[in-house]
Amino acid sequence: MEVEEQNNTEIVIHWFRRDLRLEDNTSLYKALESGFKVLPVFIFDTAILSSLEKDDRRIGFICGVIEQLQSRLAESGSAIELLIGKPLEVFEQLASRFRIHAVFTNHDYEPYALERDAVVSEYLNKLGIGFQSFKDQVIFEKSEILNNSGNPYTVFTPYSNKWKQALNMQSVVSKTISKEKLSAALLQFKKTKAVMASDLGFENCNELQLPVIDEKKIAEYHHTRDLPALDATTRLSVHLRFGTVSIRSLVSMARRLNEVWLNELIWREFFMQILWHFPNVQHNAFKPAYDRINWLNQEADFRKWCEGETGFPIVDAGMRELRETGFMHNRVRMITASFLVKHLLIDWRWGEAWFARHLLDFELSSNNGNWQWASGSGCDAAPYFRIFNPVSQAEKFDPKAEYIRRWIPEFGSSKYCKPMIELSMSRDRCLKAYAVVRNK
């Protein structure tokens, strides 16, 4: 689909990335207020696409969300210009087609995104085109929450206390973007054809889920959040990941309804600021001593874990849920991660990569932070000697084996596999391997 250059009008571009919504979108709002006509664009970045497997569900999710945005923008006589390529090359083309005053977008803090944005903004600036980026996906970013010595927090509780104090000193204001505003400020053109996952070389899948905000569930969250058999957590992670929901609206709701749930949203920002201040965590243990552990890294053991064939029902149920749906309940993520790292002595980076490949809500900072938490190597992590027992965890959190039966139809029959290891042996083995980090 191509919008034609319109009377040589000078325009502003809003570049959609992980902010796929029209409501309370900071960059879109600023672009609409700029006084220039606005062209919304989305780039299917081939540098990212080429690193994904062909059955990656996230592409279907993104295509579905974009189609939904297209229908809504059509009501305002406009559309998102969809482009495929490397962002720099795409902007070279856009700059040859339009008189661009500036490109507006929302901050993206991941290492790849920072590099990409630096390259694009340098190119645009050379042409005299502005590049303006705004805070949008978090309440507090970068160095906004520091300890009294001016350093980043590496422990959650004091970070969250400071975060809440800072929040109380300001109001969280959502920006209203009306249909009239969109109609008046967006470039008027019609989209021609939907982009499907298959157009990009991926399997089509019907992954579009719209955010459902259930206030009752949030109010009850602290009683039920650890029970994977219940539908008791909000399933908003994928929407926070792709920006199909506004963090400001969720935080306002969390303050009103449930502090325990607010803390979860703060964990998300805690890990984001860890990645921002300590980008080496992407490949290394936050606590360097943990990089000295001698992992067993047995391929065959790893395969059993991936396939949900360990013989430990809560682990297998979680791993099968992940493969089949792209989601896993948080409690089960903790149990499966601990099992891989501590009972099987497999490097947490292997598990992190498997989750990154399959989770629809994959978020580099949260995935890395939680894997390092499970392995003990992260900031504010589980101590090295805490080893979840997958049997007693299942008895405690899935006492009637309802969650387990949902994902393991052969559970209880002779078809279900036998436990792949003996727990007390693997526990002792783990403590020996972890001895290198004792007192570190």
Beta strands in 79-214 (DSSP E): 81-85, 99-106, 130-134
Contact positions with ligand FAD (CB under 6 A) in 60-79:
none
Give the active site residue among 67, 110, 144, 330. 330
Contact positions with ligand FAD (CB under 6 A) in 95-154:
none
CB 28 within 8 A of CB 22: yes
What is the number of alpha carbons within 13 Å of residue 399 lying toward its C-beta?
1
295 is catalytic: yes
**Of 73-81, 299-307, 364-372, 420-428: span binding ligand FAD (CB under 6 A):** 364-372
According to the binding rule CB under 6 A, does residue 293 interact with ligand FAD?
no
Give the active site residue among 348, 350, 373, 407. 348
According to the binding rule CB under 6 A, does residue 363 interact with ligand FAD?
yes
Q: C-beta of 74: minimal distance to ligand FAD in Å?
A: 30
According to the binding rule CB under 6 A, does residue 160 interact with ligand FAD?
no
What is the number of alpha carbons within 13 Å of residue 131 lying toward its C-beta?
16
- Based on CB atoms, which residue is closest to ligand FAD, 25 or 370? 370
- Based on CB atoms, which residue is closest to ligand FAD, 105 or 233? 233
Residues 6 or more apart whose Cβ sits within 8 Å of residue 369: 267, 270, 271, 274, 275, 281, 378, 379
According to the binding rule CB under 6 A, does residue 344 interact with ligand FAD?
no
Residues 6 or more apart whose Cβ sits within 8 Å of residue 310: 304, 316, 319, 339, 417, 419, 420, 421
Beta strands in 17-80 (DSSP E): 37-45
Q: How many whole angstroms from its chain centre is CA 258?
A: 22
Q: C-beta of 250: minimal distance to ligand FAD in Å?
A: 8
261 is catalytic: no
Residues 6 or more apart whose Cβ sits within 8 Å of residue 89: none
According to the binding rule CB under 6 A, does residue 387 interact with ligand FAD?
no
373 is catalytic: no
330 is catalytic: yes
Q: Among 212, 214, 235, 233, which Cα is nearest to 224's?
A: 233
Q: C-beta of 388: minimal distance to ligand FAD in Å?
A: 11
CA 367/CA 236 separation, integer angstroms: 15
Name the token pair of 391: 């049997």
**Of 24-32, 37-45, 112-120, 365-373: span binding ligand FAD (CB under 6 A):** 365-373
According to the binding rule CB under 6 A, does residue 361 interact with ligand FAD?
yes
According to the binding rule CB under 6 A, does residue 320 interact with ligand FAD?
no
Size of the site for ligand FAD (CB under 6 A): 26
Residues 6 or more apart whose Cβ sits within 8 Å of residue 240: 137, 247, 250, 268, 361, 363
CB 180 within 8 A of CB 195: no
- Based on CB atoms, which residue is closest to ligand FAD, 184 or 210? 210
| Residue type (1 letter), 103 | V
What is the number of alpha carbons within 13 Å of residue 100 lying toward its C-beta?
29
- Assign 40 to helix, strand or coil: strand
- Site pattern 218..257 for ligand FAD (x: CB under 6 A): -------x-------xxxxx--x-----------------
Binding site for ligand FAD (CB under 6 A): 225, 233-237, 240, 264-265, 267-268, 271, 330, 333-334, 337, 355, 359, 361-363, 366-367, 370-371, 374
Which active-site residues does the annotation give?
Answer: 264, 267, 295, 330, 348, 371
